Amino acid sequence: MNRPAINRSSRDRLEACLARIDDPAGEGSRAFTKLYAEQARAAADAADRRAQLGQSLGALDGRIVSIKDLFDIPGEVTTAGSKLRRDAAPAASEAPAIARLRAAGGVIIGKANMTEFAFSGVGINPHYGTPGNPADPTRIPGGSSSGGAVSVANGMAEITIGSDTGGSTRIPAALCGIVGLKPSQYRVPTMGAFPLSYALDSIGPMASSVSDCALADAVMAGDTIAPLTPAPLAGLRLGIPQGLLLESMEPTVATAFDAAVKTLTGHGARVTDHPLALLADMLAVNARGGFAATEAFFIHREAMDLRPGDFDPLVRGRIERGRAIPTADYIFMQRRRAELIAAMDEDLADLDALILPTAPIVAPKIADLATDEAAFTSANALLLRNTSVGNFFDLCAISLPLPVSGLPVGLMLVARNGQDRRLLRLALAVENSLRY
């Protein structure tokens, strides 16, 4: 990976990022849908002037940030990865999460590409191009926050901000070899972020380290910034969910996961099997149609009737499923989910976190999925399977890169709602143990 050295000036690091974006042999043209080069240079210069005067807006001051192309910027059309919205009305105000980053000195370099309307974990986009995986450009980056993950892993940004409805920060982080955080939903305001699912959408960062993700998360959540210290690994109570979430693992994933478990037990963590019986209840609720399809159809129902040919066909088919879901089933799903969220919180009370592979597979080839709907559907289901549990039960979760010699693999830690700071301390400890 190519990452700008943090001890250089903000302007120097920004120029290094812009050079990476402009490299014709790189993925910049597919990773970004819009650049703010001159605005970013002005912001970086301002951060450097503050540093020279011994002043600072905080730990994020001068850091280079890309943002997913679903966040509102005043005066701009928010395309959300779709050509359907190219003629939409410009945004009147800035998304609060982005405004907070800017106020903290974040240098916004551009809008990052994404799956159309954030509706898949694969990362393919026929409208704006599909950014290639940093480990192998012929492979998918993961989605839906595809361009953001590639921007960080390829040294085109230091931090990126995405959305996560079923795994959309954690999946691309895992497949691209970086860190991705899905916070408890309430922490970061979703206003000004084009929605996929009102019930499930969360806003989270990706970066090359847990510390950078924690910093961006705290700024967007409006928290007081405090140093992040690792939690002790000795005595840590970690549960491996048994059953479906461990099935269909590719050998590379299984080997990396087993090695990580051995490393953690070697540091004194207590790793036990956990049945996660409530998973069956989640699947029963989603069998009625799921929140994302139901709510996405509500959002796009007019365009689905008037301009169906302008959708990515792979996304349109997923939205179309929401057309036939009865209102009574949707209300049932909402009420039953609330019950299951409370039950899961109790189920996890005796654990510090669940640990499992972020995705059971490594990144497939783009060519194998782009025009084969059956292959796309199968890969998408596998990519979303483990991560979507965190969204349904409104948990907080983070994906960490595992040491591998081939394609990237992610380790996911999942904790109870509201335990975000504790999760980040655990993640920092796990990150340190895996690196050394």
266 CB burial (10 A radius; 0-12, 13-18, 19+): exposed
Residue 420 located in a structural domain = yes
Residue 345 located in a structural domain = no
What pLDDT score was predicted for residue 436?
66
What pLDDT score was predicted for residue 321?
97
* pLDDT digits 0-9 by tens, 280-324: 999 999 999 999 999 999 999 999 999 999 999 999 999 999 999
Is the pLDDT score of 2 beyond 90? no
Which residues belong to the active site?
68, 144, 168
Residue 279 located in a structural domain = no
Do residues 111 and 68 make contact, with C-beta atoms less than 8 angstroms apart?
yes
Q: What is the arithmetic mean of pLDDT over 405-429? A: 97
* pLDDT digits 0-9 by tens, 226-278: 999 999 999 999 999 999 999 999 999 999 999 999 999 999 999 999 999 99
CA angle 206, 224, 388 (to 5 degrees): 35
List the structure tokens of 137.
């450009």
Q: Across the chain, what does the average pLDDT equal?
A: 97
Residue 349 located in a structural domain = no
What pLDDT score was predicted for residue 308?
97
The domain of 183 spans 1-232+357-436
Residue 191 located in a structural domain = yes
What pLDDT score was predicted for residue 277?
96
Is the pLDDT score of 50 beyond 80? yes
Is the pLDDT score of 400 beyond 90? yes
Residue 332 located in a structural domain = no
Question: What DSSP state is assigned to residue 2?
Answer: -
Do residues 169 and 206 make contact, with C-beta atoms less than 8 angstroms apart?
yes
| CATH number reported for the structural domain that contains residue 373 in this entry | 3.90.1300.10
Residue 289 located in a structural domain = no
Percent of the chain with pLDDT over 90: 97
Residue 416 located in a structural domain = yes
* pLDDT digits 0-9 by tens, 86-124: 999 999 999 999 999 999 999 999 999 999 999 999 999
* pLDDT digits 0-9 by tens, 195-237: 999 999 999 999 999 999 999 999 999 999 999 999 999 999 9
Considering its fold, how many domains does the chain have in total? 1
